[in-house]
Structure 1
Amino acid sequence: MNDQAAAAHPVVLDKFQDPDWTARGERRARVALRALETLWFNTGTLCNIECRNCYILSSPSNDALVYLTRAEVEGYLAEIARDGLPIREIGFTGGEPFMNPEMIGMAEAALEAGHEVLILTNAMRPMMRGSVRSGLADLARRFGARLTLRISLDHWSAEHHDEERGAGGFAKTVEGMRWLRDAGIRMAVAGRTLWGESDAEARAGYARLFAAEGFDIDAQDPGLCVLFPEMDEGAEVPEITESCWGILGKRPDSVMCSNARMVVKRRGETAPVVLACTLLTYDRQFELGRTLREAARPVALNHPHCAKFCVLGGASCSG
């Protein structure tokens, strides 16, 4: 490579270091925001349990992301209305969202603004508090199927689920799901692909469980029974270049950051910020600004999760 070519195509020694160039000196793929259809709010990283493979290291002691408030959520809802953004779904994730004392109020604000609401929960003790159950029942009566709770049920068997979440976790989560069933609250499930099953085998196992429990969840619907690939930052994965779209037969608008953003509030900071992705919570290069307008710029796929989870794994956190 001559000096002119080297200047145009710098070689980076390690992967996922430069937002513009791969380690081999190829143009890194970027994803433009096609349309903002899903806005996520991370309600805080505190959780009632500590899972073995938590995507963002939530635990009873991790407060790196602090609790959002209803007022902060309403600020973004006002921006959506003012700018006529095409948001269909507002998602709430954590941590465990129902540890946030304003979770019911935040969901109410999003529903009153006319959006569909998706809340990710382990359906354990925080959700089963009396005040939370009465709040959820009220929202379900008022807004019906526009409210969905996606339950973290890592596997259809107690044995494997409890490997991830601790002994007795499966029974507690299923107890919460039974309450949601009886309250008429719409449910979905999120599972994991840790155990080497085929997609068909995993869905058949979930289908048996749903049928036995009378849960109105279609295990064959990937939007209602989401099976997430595992993420390992140490795993060897290829970088995604501009030419990969044609090689893989994929389009940039199939990737989650083409249609979604996430709002977080970091410990010690005075205001929330908008991130490119729900999974890259701690990497500051994916922090795009304080407003949705500022966060509308393209995203460089400069992280192993971009490759393994989204482009190659084809996963999305949205329902």
Structure 2
Amino acid sequence: MKDLPQTTANVGKFQHSHVTANGESRAVVALSHPETLWFNTGTLCNIECTNCYILSSPSNDALVYLNSDEVRNYLDQVDLRNWPIKEIGFTGGEPFMNPQMIDMARAALQRGYRVLILTNAMQPMMRKTVQTGLRQLICDFPGKLELRVSLDHFSAEFHDAERGVGSFQKTVQGMHWLQENGFTLAVAGRGQWGKSDADCRSGYAALFAEQGFDIDANNPSQTVLFPEMDETVEVPEITTACWGILGKSPKDVMCSSSRMVVKRKGASEPTVVACTLLPYTPEFDLGPSLQDAEQDIALNHPHCAKFCVLGGASCSA
């Protein structure tokens, strides 16, 4: 796996796939009900955030652009494997940096899937050619396309601290364009800033009311609040006994229901990874096909504990 940051947190933990630091059996999750297949469209982004888990930036092309033929190939594999997929998700980077984003979304929509695109709703999405393509998609596939906009905080001050001065206003402008053109709109924020979940949702509710956005701040599928993914924070390892202790099931964890396709720089073909949060960690690289991706996943990373099991978060709707 990827080397964890040099810190006193988690010393000795997350070293072995199937055994914890205390010698207990590490929790393992099966792909029991595949519902979402994610495509990382590439790590290039128009901005560089302070705490981007995937290190997206205007110069990071560690994950290169996918193309429409590659997406169609995996959609064919979904049919072949008889996966009960309900949703196709596109993430980045900024997906609208990819020149084939509209075509890739259309390929998924033509198969009858719901499509979710994660975006910062800034300049790449606001290009005229992209706007025209998006409007055509919702005309051709009404009710099937959702855009989830990254809005780290409900105030410009804190959002801009993460994403750069002026980014809040540009994102809000993009959200207005989406709503005015009839798109289904959701928001992804960060559940941090020393506030409770209720306080965060109250802040988003006030913003949505002020801006006239048709988004329910108290609906977790419309306003998704992600826990901060800090690998330097001490977290417990998840053992097989934790399911009973926590009153949870392996089926509650994101890797029981989703996989993500990425294409690494210099690679001849894409590969499938276990989790949208761990695209760079070799242990979670499962192989080039969906058949390869059906293997069980050992929860051998701090994100598995903090984000998924204890945080209860999921990238899907």
TM-score (norm 2): 0.96
Alpha-carbon separation, structure 2, partners of 1:281 and 1:274: 9
Whether the 8 Å CA contact 2:48–2:57 is kept in 1: the answer is: yes
**Partner residue of 2:170 out of 133, 152, 172:** 172
Note the alpha carbon deviations across 1:230-259, whole angstroms, 9 max, x for none.
011111111111111111111110000000
Shift of 1:183: 0.5
Equivalents in 1 of 2:34, 2:288: separation in Å? 15
**Contact kept in structure 1, 2:81 and 2:290, CA below 8 Å:** no
Secondary structure of residue in 2 paired with 1:144: coil
Instruction: Note if 1:253 corresponds to 2:277.
Output: no
Deviations 1:30-60 (A, max 9, x none): 0011111000000000000000011111011
Q: Of 79, 88, 92, which aligns to 1:94?
A: 92
The equivalences for 1:302-317 within 5 A come to 302-317=300-315
Aligned to 2:52: 54
Alignment of 1:12-161 (within 5 A): 14-161=12-159
1:271-297 superposed Cα distances (whole Å, 9 cap, x missing partner): 000000000010010011111111011
Distance 1:85 1:126 in 2: 32
Secondary structure (helix, strand or coil) at the match of 1:21 reads coil
- Which residue in the other structure is 2:296 paired with? 298
Structure 2 residues without counterparts, runs of 5 or longer? 1-10
Q: Following the alignment from structure 2 to structure 1, what is the Cα–Cα distance between the partners of residues 292 and 39? A: 17
What is the deviation of 1:84?
2.3
Q: Once the 2 structures are TM-superposed, how far is the Cα of residue 145 of structure 1 from its aligned partner? A: 1.7
The separation in 2 between residues aligned to 1:312 and 1:75, in whole angstroms, is 35
Contact 1:144 1:185 (C-alpha < 8 Å) held by counterparts: no
1:122 and 1:151 in contact (8 A); partners too? yes
> Which residue identity does 1:264 align to in structure 2?
V
Would you say 1:264 and 2:262 are equivalent positions?
yes
What is the aligned residue count?
307
Aligned to 2:286: 288
| Per-residue deviation, 1:216 | 1.3
2:242 and 2:179 map into 1 onto residues whose CA distance is 44
Q: Which residue in the other structure is 2:186 paired with? A: 188
Deviation at 1:83, TM superposition (A): 2.7
The Cα of 1:213 is off from its aligned counterpart by 1.7
* Offset, 1:197: 1.1
User: Contact 1:104 / 1:136 at 8 angstroms: preserved in 2?
Assistant: yes
Q: Distance in 2 between matches of 1:87 and 1:174?
A: 32
The letter of the residue matching 1:296 is: E
Q: How far is 1:85 from its partner?
A: 1.4
**Whole-angstrom CA distance in 1 between matches of 2:272 and 2:80:** 17
Secondary structure of 2:188 counterpart: strand
Structure 1: gaps spanning 5 or more residues: 1-12
The Cα offsets for residues 80-109 of structure 1, whole Å up to 9 and x where unpaired, read as: 123321000000000000000000000000
Counterpart of 1:60 in 2: which secondary structure?
Answer: coil
Task: State the alpha-carbon separation in 2 of the partners of residues 90 and 111 from structure 1.
Answer: 9
| Amino acid in the other structure paired with 1:118 | L
Who is 2:7 aligned against?
Answer: none
Q: Distance in 2 between matches of 1:112 and 1:76?
A: 14
Q: Match of 2:4?
A: none
Between the two proteins, what is the percent identity of the paired residues? Answer: 65
Give me the whole-angstrom Cα distance separating, in 1, the residues matched to 2:229 and 2:257. 21
Measured in 1, the distance between the counterparts of 2:167 and 2:273 equals 31
Distance 2:77 2:180 in 1: 36
Give the Cα separation in 1 of the matches to 2:107 and 2:248.
36
Name the structure 1 match of 2:211: 213
Distance of 1:313 and 1:246 partners within structure 2: 16
Please give the alpha-carbon distance, in whole angstroms, between the structure 2 residues aligned to 1:280 and 1:212.
36
The one-letter code of the counterpart of 2:47 is: I
